[in-house]
Amino acid sequence: MNQKKWIRIVSIYSIIYTGITLLSSVLYLCNGIYEDPSGNLHELDRAMILLIGIAAFELCTNLPVKPLILRYVTAYIPSLLLAFAYVWSTGLREPLAKTAYRDIWINFTSLFVILCIINTVTDVCKKKRGQKGKMKNNE
């Protein structure tokens, strides 16, 4: 991978992690909680889950699978299973919340779907621009 690709991946990761962390903090404050009850390990867990999702998404955008939906599913299923395995492993150091797997499924799937939508829209826009450029060159 070239430097531009790495900068893109790190930028996406940083922006999403910052956004999720800020949203979480705002929600805690709105509920009258002034410190993260889960502590620093929770922040590291969030970072790892996001890393799993971003890595899977970046890999899936480069797969040679033709139907775009199949490409997304091919990346989503193993990455979700890896996220579940990570959540399970955190249960070895501390008890999991009763809704841990449901929460990770909702959060992981939501973020993955948003990234897929953004990627699809970006691809469609690039193709339209490419077609317009070809039409102008043919005239």
pLDDT at 69: 87
Rounded to 5 degrees, what are φ and ψ at 25? -65, -40
Question: How far apart (Å, rounded) are the C-alpha atoms in residues 44 and 11?
Answer: 18
Specify the DSSP element, H or E, that contains 134: helix 100-138
pLDDT at 81: 95
pLDDT at 133: 66
Residue 117: count other Cβ atoms within 10 Å of its Cβ.
10
pLDDT at 61: 74
pLDDT (tens, 9 = 90+) of the chain, 139 residues, equals: 688 888 988 998 999 999 988 988 898 899 998 887 777 888 888 899 999 988 888 877 777 888 888 888 888 999 999 999 999 999 998 888 899 999 999 989 998 998 889 888 988 898 888 777 666 666 5
**Nearest alpha-carbon partner for 111 in 28, 30, 13, 6:** 13
Q: List % helix, strand, coil for the chain (3-state, nearest 5).
A: 80, 0, 20
The pTM for the full model equals 0.77
pLDDT at 136: 63
pLDDT at 139: 58
